[in-house]
Structure 1
Amino acid sequence: MPPRSSSPRALAVAVWLWVLLPFAYGSYELIRKATQLFTG
């Protein structure tokens, strides 16, 4: 069996980052724009 290039843990970290980074950015933008909407 050939060796795998990445471990399952590295793949899991990469997948979580792929999901969480855009989610975090979107949440930040939502809060920023909602703050502008309600404050002025």
Structure 2
Amino acid sequence: MTSADSQQPDAGARRHTGLMVLAWAWVGLPFAYGVYELVQKLAQLFAG
């Protein structure tokens, strides 16, 4: 094995990274939307 081979991620590592990105997006996007809605509601509550 050469040093160039050790720097290349294998297919399993790429798949694992892709699943992690998908999992974070699955949770993070609805959470971000909820925080956005919360800020909108708070602005309405205190402004008016």
TM-score of the pair, normalised by structure 1: 0.83
Q: Write the letter of the residue equivalent to 2:34.
A: G
The corresponding residue for 2:47 is 39
CA RMSD, 1 decimal: 1.7
Task: Extract structure 1 runs of 4+ deviating beyond 3 A.
Answer: none
Q: Where does structure 2 lack aligned partners over 5 or more consecutive residues?
A: 1-10
Structure showing greater Rg: 2
Cα deviation, residue 24, structure 1: 0.1
Aligned residue-pair number: 37
Q: Percent of aligned positions with the same letter in both sequences? A: 51
Q: TM-score, normalised by structure 2?
A: 0.70
Structure 1: 5+ residue runs without aligned partners?
A: none
